């Protein structure tokens, strides 16, 4: 696992705001034709021609969204970008640019911020997006991160949350619940360390779960796959707050109901075994855990043959009429009303 640099410490006051921005962004290169002007002026200049622009912003606050006692700064930079790119892909779009704004207290050195921006740079390089601006300011407590992602899409390709229709199939990418369990493992190890600072955590058997929490990947590949398969979802959303919450967003905005089948929810074996260890119900984890950043979407039944058998995609239910409501169909074939119990930062 990547570790923060600690051997050097350069005061941020030595550089000043603009010197800091120049220093942290000097290794970034332009990847997209649509980036006319990136970092270094009053505003970025983006040229999109006939395409529609997608814009999304997320705010991450230390102590609410992340804990630096176990979140390496490089991973945090990477994840902060993923959170935003995922929203662009959930619109069926192509992410092209990001802006990064941070508020930091004086406990952060230049070397710490270099680690954070190294994660951002890795994300930009991996996903082919450009850093085109942002802001830095001071904070009296901790760290706050605001990233805006910009994307492009042809008007005919955009997918909203409100297009699901009765008899559409409900499809999810990847597997669910691992990020939440990764967080539980890290929180447990944090408490062990507090009790015994000499303890060395052994996370090897939880490696997939921890990676899903600390370094998630946005599903750009799924947008590309659906284009290859000639499948346009009727509705789509990314799974950040738990499967049940996201399904209900689609149902509410599309004015439909759904049947979600418990035995169809994709779970990694590490999720299943860790749920048994923690004595947590795996279905509850998948429904309410959040931070998986998989894509949830609906497709016409006519497109089923195009996706069946694809290892990246799982049909987990179907859309019904609104009057029938949204339900989980249990393994014992009982219908239970689906309730949004995903994570809510405002209750913390």
Q: What is the CATH number of the domain that holds 121?
A: 3.30.1330.10
User: Do 41 and 187 have their domain in common?
Assistant: no
Tell me, what's the pLDDT at 346? Answer: 40
Give dist(CA 41, CA 112) in Å, integer: 25
Which of 114, 131, 157 is the endpoint of a domain?
157
User: Do 25 and 60 have their domain in common?
Assistant: yes
Residue 179: what are its φ and ψ, rounded to 5°? -65, -40
User: Do 118 and 218 have their domain in common?
Assistant: no
Give dist(CA 284, CA 295) in Å, integer: 18
pLDDT under 70 in the chain at which residues? 1-7, 17, 41-43, 341-348
Tell me, what's the pLDDT at 42? Answer: 64
Tell me, what's the pLDDT at 347? Answer: 52
Tell me, what's the pLDDT at 104? Answer: 95
* Number of separate domains in the chain: 2
User: Do 141 and 251 have their domain in common?
Assistant: no
User: Do 342 and 195 have their domain in common?
Assistant: yes
User: Do 196 and 107 have their domain in common?
Assistant: no
Residue 217 lies in a domain: yes
User: Do 152 and 179 have their domain in common?
Assistant: no
Which of 100, 134, 157 is the endpoint of a domain?
157
Per-residue pLDDT tens over the stretch 187-208: 999 988 888 887 777 788 999 9
Range of the domain at 242: 169-347
Residue 14: what are its φ and ψ, rounded to 5°? -70, -25
Residue 6 lies in a domain: no
Which of 95, 128, 157 is the endpoint of a domain?
157
Tell me, what's the pLDDT at 229? Answer: 97
User: Do 112 and 193 have their domain in common?
Assistant: no
**Strands of the chain, DSSP E:** 35-37, 45-46, 52-61, 94-104, 130-138, 143-153, 169-173, 235-238, 257-261, 295-299, 313-320, 326-329, 335-337
User: Do 320 and 197 have their domain in common?
Assistant: yes
Give the predicted TM-score (pTM) of the model. Answer: 0.89
Tell me, what's the pLDDT at 43? Answer: 64
Longest dimension (CA), the chain: 65
Residue 168: DSSP 8-state: P
User: Do 178 and 129 have their domain in common?
Assistant: no
What CATH number did the domain enclosing 206 receive? 3.90.650.10
């Amino acid at each position: 696992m990547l570790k923060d640099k600690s051997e050097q410490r350069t005061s941020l006051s030595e550089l000043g705001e603009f010197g800091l921005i120049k220093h942290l962004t000097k290794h970034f290169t332009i990847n997209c034709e649509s980036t006319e002007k990136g970092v270094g002026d009053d505003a970025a200049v983006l040229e999109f021609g006939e395409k529609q622009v997608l814009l999304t912003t997320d705010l991450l606050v230390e102590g609410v969204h992340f804990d630096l006692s176990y979140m390496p700064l490089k991973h945090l930079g990477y994840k902060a970008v993923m959170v935003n790119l995922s929203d662009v892909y959930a619109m069926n779009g192509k992410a092209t640019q990001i802006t990064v704004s941070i508020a930091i207290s004086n406990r952060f050195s230049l070397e710490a911020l270099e680690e954070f921006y190294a994660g951002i740079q890795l994300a930009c390089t991996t996903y082919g997006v450009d850093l085109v601006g942002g802001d830095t300011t001071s904070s009296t407590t901790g760290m706050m991160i605001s990233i805006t992602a910009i994307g492009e899409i042809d008007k005919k390709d955009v997918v909203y949350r409100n297009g699901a229709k009765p008899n559409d199939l409900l499809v999810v990418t990847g597997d669910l619940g691992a990020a939440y369990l990764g967080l539980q493992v890290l929180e447990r190890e944090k408490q062990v360390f507090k009790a015994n600072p000499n303890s060395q955590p052994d996370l090897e058997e939880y490696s997939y779960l921890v990676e899903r929490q600390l370094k998630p990947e946005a599903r750009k590949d799924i947008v590309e796959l659906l284009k290859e398969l000639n499948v346009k979802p009727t509705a789509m959303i990314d799974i950040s707050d738990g499967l049940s919450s996201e399904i209900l967003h689609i149902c509410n905005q599309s004015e439909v109901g759904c049947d979600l089948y418990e035995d169809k929810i994709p779970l990694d074996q590490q999720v299943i075994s860790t749920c048994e260890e923690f004595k947590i119900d795996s279905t509850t984890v998948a429904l309410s855990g959040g931070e998986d950043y998989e894509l949830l979407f609906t497709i016409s039944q006519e497109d089923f043959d195009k996706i069946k058998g694809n290892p990246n995609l799982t049909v987990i239910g179907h859309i019904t009429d609104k009057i029938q409501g949204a339900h989980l169909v249990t393994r014992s074939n009982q219908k239970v009303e689906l309730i949004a119990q995903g994570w809510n930062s405002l209750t913390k």
